[in-house]
Amino acid sequence: MTSHTFSIIIPAHNEEKYITACLESIKRAEQEVPDCRVEIIVAANRCTDKTAEISEKFGAQVIDNQDKCISMIRNAGVRAAAGDIIVTIDADSCMTKGSLKEIAEMLESGKYVGGGTRSKFERVSLGILCSGAYVALNLIPIMWKNKAALSGGMFWCYKRDFEKIGGFDESLISLEDMDFAARLNKLGVSRGQKYGTLKKSHILTSSRKFDEFGDWYLIKNRKLTKRIFTGKDREAADGFYYDVR
């Protein structure tokens, strides 16, 4: 494996309950790429808790951010990055064994422009499964347009390619992840490369949205879900993301 510097970008809004587990998972994954350097950048967004303090104890670089736009928060983290490989992960998610090693191997193969990973919730119920199916149904038009199944969860690519596609679209306050995946995929297609999904590893993510709103919330509030999927509905995004907690 070639020596790389990974820049792990974590957007975090009052994440003291979850971020320790996320950081610990990154440290474990780091041990599997001993020839590489791993820097962690936490974009502390409007935090009033101990998120920054906890992050600094793990050696993370903490940048203060006041935007109410996840695309801006992620991009701010990348601007501070020194690595040649960018990885984005949410503060309530954890990498599993071999994540960074697999990312490096897939990028070094030259077959992949970058990609995402599979996500698993920390708990599962019928409501969560049905909600997941409903969300997937709403993503079908994006996948159909791009002629590809585009995974999300934890994005990874070379920094030069992140910059080439302009990072995350700052006009979007939601659905920025699938938009990013679509544009990264388009870049790959132009080069004869694939948009990849990690096969050996995945991320484990919290079920906190379901804990907060209820397992059937997205199904019962389908109009709200559709508003979130426009990517530009501030009221819907604030109610479900930015003004929660």
Which has more confidence, 22 or 153? 22
Task: Name the band, by pLDDT with cuts 50, 70 and 90, for residue 64.
Answer: very high
Average pLDDT in the 23-42 region?
97
Measured distance CA(175)–CA(70) in Å, rounded: 9
Measured distance CA(175)–CA(163) in Å, rounded: 19
For residue range 156-166, list pLDDT tens digits in order. 999 999 999 99
Mean pLDDT over each residue of the chain, to the nearest integer? 93
58 close to 23: Cβ distance less than 8 angstroms:
yes
Amino acid sitting at position 14: N
**Residue 139: which of 177, 172, 111 has the closest Cα?**
177
pTM for this predicted structure? 0.94
For residue 130, give both structure tokens: 């049905």
Least confident of 53-62, 125-134, 202-211, 229-238: 229-238
Helices within the chain (DSSP H only): 19-30, 51-57, 70-79, 99-108, 126-146, 159-164, 176-191, 208-213, 217-220, 222-228, 234-237
Residues of the chain with pLDDT > 90, as a percent, come to: 79
Residue identified by tokens 């962690």 is: 40
179 close to 165: Cβ distance less than 8 angstroms:
no
pLDDT higher than 90, residue 1: no
The count of other CB atoms within 10 Å of the CB of residue 44 is 27
pLDDT higher than 90, residue 197: yes
Measured distance CA(197)–CA(152) in Å, rounded: 8
Q: What are phi and psi of 45, to 5 degrees?
A: -100, 110
Average pLDDT in the 196-218 region?
94
Which has more confidence, 226 or 30? 30
Which residues touch 19 (CB under 8 Å, ≥6 apart)? 10, 12, 42, 51, 54, 55, 91, 92
For residue 64, give both structure tokens: 């203060």
CATH class of 5-123+150-207: alpha beta
For residue range 116-156, list pLDDT tens digits in order. 999 999 999 999 999 989 888 877 777 777 666 788 899 99
Which residues touch 67 (CB under 8 Å, ≥6 apart)? 45, 73, 76
Measured distance CA(238)–CA(235) in Å, rounded: 5
For residue range 75-122, list pLDDT tens digits in order. 999 999 999 999 999 999 999 999 999 999 999 999 999 999 999 999
pLDDT recorded at residue 147: 65
Average pLDDT in the 157-186 region?
95
pLDDT recorded at residue 191: 97
pLDDT recorded at residue 140: 76
pLDDT higher than 70, residue 13: yes
Task: Name the band, by pLDDT with cuts 50, 70 and 90, for residue 24.
Answer: very high
Residues of the chain with pLDDT > 70, as a percent, come to: 98
Q: What are phi and psi of 23, to 5 degrees?
A: -65, -40
Task: Name the band, by pLDDT with cuts 50, 70 and 90, for residue 2.
Answer: confident
